[in-house]
Each structure stands twice: as structure tokens, then as C-alpha cells.
Amino acid sequence: KKVNGRATSNGGKALDLERGNTTVRERLKALLEEQERWAELIHTLEQEAEDLPEGDKSKARLAALPYRVGEIWEKHLCRLDQALQQYQAAFKTDSAHTDSIEAGRRVYETVGHWEGIASLFQVELGFCTQARRKAELLVELGTLQWKKLHNLEAAARFFNEASHLRPGDESIQENMGELHASPDWPNPEGLGKAAATFVKIAQRREGQGDREGAISFLRRALGADPANEAAYIRLERTYQDTGRWEDLEVLYGQRVAVADEREQAALQVQRADLLERRLGNHAKARECIEAALEYEGAGSEVATRLMEIYRADGDHERLADLLQDALRAPADQPTRVRLMLELAELYDDHLD
């Protein structure tokens, strides 16, 4: 250590005598770093910036020195304020010095200064010419606006701009869908946009042979907009093609909640058929037909089917109620006679 200290002292003296000697300066910097004499190393770097000959004062060279000083303040002296000043000086010297911008973002993130990070993303976007990097920056900026600054509309603008640069990037589209589906989105139209986005991704997944992925995104589409027709039709077909009968029954149940009355009746009948024929659940199938009857008249096909169920189940009281409802509905004379006879027999044999 004494030898190194003597060497450092001699190097400093030599540099004072010959400030333009690059070899001496580099050796001195290496010794100061080795001995962790950070304040002296900062002074040497600042002196180097002053001593640069005119022919060596390129923007990159001038920016590299404050950047290095900033690293020392940040990583060794734990002075983030001083580090940020140096990184800013490096960037102001050379706007293309991306290392200093990245370092500034790192410092801002440490202290939770999200607006500062956003401004540095914008700065880098200003001079970025590579489409790939620009798309990455737009995605980062969109995510920051969404997750940290809670400016969803600004986030959507950045994601949309990124998608134009990378039109096939599913992750950007997924971000857009999640953003529009957020409960914080400022207007109800966002849910429809989210569903449309997820359906689009599902179509792509299906085209790639990824049926499970397609199902996942179709479910997300219906989660955003339960009434979305395109998502419902595609998911119904997929479940039918793959024999996922339990999932199909759940889908019908979810659809009932958002359908109009006419569709509700048809859906309950479809559910009943599925439950009876595929899932062997007669009790729940019967409940579905009973629910469908609420939307159909007493003389309808649904009523006739429910009578058959009650006969098969031996539910004489409910059958009698249905027969009486049918007699109160308009019907031709032969039908009325048949219903009256059946009702009379029912009372004679089972209800008296």
C-alpha cells in the first residue's frame, strides 16, 4: 500500500508537470480506482475534461467523462443527486449517449421519480432512428404511463404507436387489450375494444394451431365483454369440436345472463340437450327446460317437452299444473279434449 501510495503521489506530480500525458493520466486513474480514492479520481476525471486537446473534444469523448464521474457518485459514494447531475451533463453534451440516459432512468427508478423516467424515455425517442429500439422505448413508456403514472390514455397512444412499428407483436396487442379492459379506463367503450383485441389474438393463435391459446384469449374477450358475439360463437364451436362439454355448458350459462329473452329460451334448451345427452345430468336438464318455459307459452314445444319429462319422472302434480295451463291457452277442440282426458285420468289414478 505504501508503494502504491507513493506511486499515486508520483503520478499526480508527474501529471501536474505534464497534464497532456495520456499514459501518466491513465495509470494514475487506475491506481486511484484500485485504492478507492474516489474524490481524487473524480478530480482527475474533471481535470481530464478540461485538458482535452481541441482535436479530441468529440461529443462522445466529452460525454464519457461526466458519465464515469456519475458512476462513481452513484455506485461508490451513494450520492444519487450528484450522480444524476453528471449523467445529465453527459447527455447534454451528447444526446446520443444512451448509457447516460439509461443511468439517469436507473437513478430515477431508485427514488421513484416516474415522471423523470418518462421524460428520459421521451428524450431517447427524440433521436432514436432504429424501428426496433423505438418500439421497445414506446412499450416501456406505455407501461410506465399505465402502471406508475396511471395515465391510461397516454399509455394507449404509446402502445398503438409501437404496434404500427411491430404489427405482428402479440405482446403489444395484449397490453392494449388489458389496458382497455382495466376498470380505470375512462369510458365504457374500452371493454368492447379489449374484447375485439383478444378475439384478434385468438384468431392468430388458432391459425398457428394453438387451440389452447385461442381458448384462453376467447375467454378473456368474454371476460371483458360477456355479450361479445364473435368471441361467443368461436368459443362455442371450439368447445364442440374438442368435446369440452362441461366448458360448453358453463359457456351457455354465462350467455344466458346477457342474452335477450328469445335467445335465453333457445340457450336453455341447448343446455338441456347437452346436460341430458353428453353429461348425463337429467335433474339440471329439467331445470333448464323449466327456465325456458318462462319465455315460451303454455302451448309451446318447450311446454310439450316439459310434460314428457314430468310424465317420465312421475311428477304428477307438476304435470297437472302444466295440463291446466295448456287448457287455459288457445287450442283446437281435439287438443283440448285430449288434455282434459289426460288431466282427468291423472287425478283419478294419482292425485285423489
pLDDT band at residue 113 using 50, 70 and 90 as cut-offs: very high
Give 181: exposed, middle or buried? Use CB within 10 Å, 0-12, 13-18, 19+: buried
Q: Is the pLDDT of residue 20 over 80?
A: no
pLDDT band at residue 171 using 50, 70 and 90 as cut-offs: very high
More confident residue, 95 or 128: 128
pLDDT at 61: 82
- Average model confidence (pLDDT) across the chain: 90
Neighbouring CB atoms inside 10 A of 208's CB total 10
Neighbouring CB atoms inside 10 A of 275's CB total 22
Q: Is the pLDDT of residue 285 over 90?
A: yes
pLDDT at 23: 82
pLDDT at 7: 47
- In the predicted model, what is the mean pLDDT of residues 219-235? 97
pLDDT at 10: 45
Q: 220 φ, ψ to 5°?
A: -65, -35
Top mean pLDDT of 22-36, 40-54, 60-74, 201-215 is at 201-215
Give 104: exposed, middle or buried? Use CB within 10 Å, 0-12, 13-18, 19+: buried
- In the predicted model, what is the mean pLDDT of residues 136-162? 96
Cell 311446454 sits at which residue? 303
pLDDT at 17: 39
The CA-atom distances, in angstroms, between 105 and each of 100, 102, 115, 352 are 9, 5, 10, 87
Determine the Cα–Cα distance for residues 66 and 63; give it in Å rounded to an integer: 6
End-to-end CA distance of the chain: 114
pLDDT band at residue 14 using 50, 70 and 90 as cut-offs: very low
pLDDT at 19: 53
Share of residues in the chain with pLDDT > 70 (%): 92
User: Is residue 324 within 8 Å of 304, Cβ to Cβ?
Assistant: no
Q: 290 φ, ψ to 5°?
A: -65, -40
Q: Is the pLDDT of residue 207 over 60?
A: yes
Total-model pTM? 0.77
pLDDT at 297: 81
pLDDT at 271: 97
pLDDT in tens, 317-333: 999 999 999 998 888 89
- In the predicted model, what is the mean pLDDT of residues 264-276? 96
Q: Is the pLDDT of residue 60 over 90?
A: no
pLDDT in tens, 247-266: 999 999 999 999 998 899 99
pLDDT at 329: 86
pLDDT at 11: 45
pLDDT at 56: 61
Q: Is the pLDDT of residue 13 over 50?
A: no
Q: Is the pLDDT of residue 294 over 60?
A: yes
More confident residue, 132 or 5: 132
pLDDT at 53: 65
Q: Is the pLDDT of residue 9 over 60?
A: no
Q: How many residues does the chain have?
A: 352
The CA-atom distances, in angstroms, between 70 and each of 36, 95, 129 are 15, 16, 27
Helices 211-224 & 229-242, crossing angle to 10 degrees? 140
pLDDT at 55: 58
- Written as one string, the DSSP assignment of 45-110 is HHHHHHH--GGG--HHHHHHHHHHHHHHHHHTS--HHHHHHHHHHHHHH-TT-HHHHHHHHHHHHH
Q: How far is CA 226 from the centre of its chain?
A: 18
Quick one: CA torsion of 236, 242, 246, 249, rounded to 10 degrees? 20
Q: Is the pLDDT of residue 267 over 50?
A: yes
